[in-house]
Amino acid sequence: MTAKLKPWIFTAHCPSRLGTVDVVTRFMAETRNYVLEMQSFDDHELDRFCIRVEFRPEDDNFSEEAFNGAFAERAAGFDMEWQLRTPEHKPRVAILVSKYDHCLNDLLYRFRTGQLNIEIPVIISNHPDLEPLAQWHGIPYHHLPITPDTKAEQEAQVWELIQQYDTELVVLARYMQVLSPDLCRKLDGWAINIHHSLLPGFKGAKPYHQAWAKGVKLVGATAHYVNNDLDEGPIITQGIQPVDHAQYPEDLVEKGQDIERVTLSRAIRYHIEKRVFVLGQRTVVFSD
């Protein structure tokens, strides 16, 4: 059985105008690019159009430079901004983590098996506990302890490492620190966080124990982009699972961690596959 070839991915957004779909599809046909999948959405509240196309070039002389140069002429009349992602591209992802290992373990497994088409050049933590896990995978691990007095210095080191390793995405895989407004601004739009979602909401220590004491019937998780609104950035994915009286606090924690793993990995995949468009505080997500 032959391996499935990875497609080129074209994404674009622009003001809502007549002919937006046509300008893309007509260009694809005229330049001999076979459309494998196409999704589009027009947000009439914000007057914004979004489109995502997976395609396979049928011209042996296809080049990214030629594509962008030719499409620029077509896009100019629509004020369209676009990106073209090559099949070979593997985004470099920096992972921030504290002591909980369930999300990190899951991401490393999906990275190792190729389920997530990424590179992980660095893992950063405010605790030393998970360094053996990183070492086993041959990934540099930087332990940067933090206190209220050293927060600014520690975040400066985090930012320096993110730049040093040339990362394109930062993932907070249960990094149990509130980022400063300055670091949030720097990471706006390219950092993903995961946290529990309990109905009703519970804050502070042991949220699952609080939820059990109130008899909750749903546990879940939310993956979102980081911004200066604590745990309220644009949402990418959410997961949910019913529970009942037979589950004790430890059972809720286990179920919650399972949902966190799946929800976070899906959010990362949607991001790297260019399925997410951020429109203000909302997102358009073209699921597969």
Q: Which of 231, 244, 251, 258 is catalytic?
A: 231
List the beta bridge partners of residue 8: 55
Nearest CA to 221 out of 175, 250, 264 is that of 264
Nearest CA to 106 out of 266, 230, 283 is that of 266
Does the active-site annotation cover 22?
Answer: no
Parallel, antiparallel or unpaired: strands 282-285 and 276-279: antiparallel
Residue 267, token pair as written in the block: 């959010």
Angle at which helices 249-272 and 102-113 pack, to 10 degrees?
Answer: 40
Q: In whole angstroms, what is the distance from residue 255 CA to residue 242 CA? A: 10
Residue 180, token pair as written in the block: 């400063």
Parallel, antiparallel or unpaired: strands 141-143 and 218-225: unpaired
Q: In whole angstroms, what is the distance from residue 226 CA to residue 177 CA? A: 12
Residue 68 carries which side chain, given as an amino acid letter? N
List Cα–Cα distances, 152 to 145, 158, 230, 244, in angstroms.
12, 10, 18, 43
DSSP H or E stretch at residue 7: none
Q: Which active-site residues does the annotation give?
A: 231
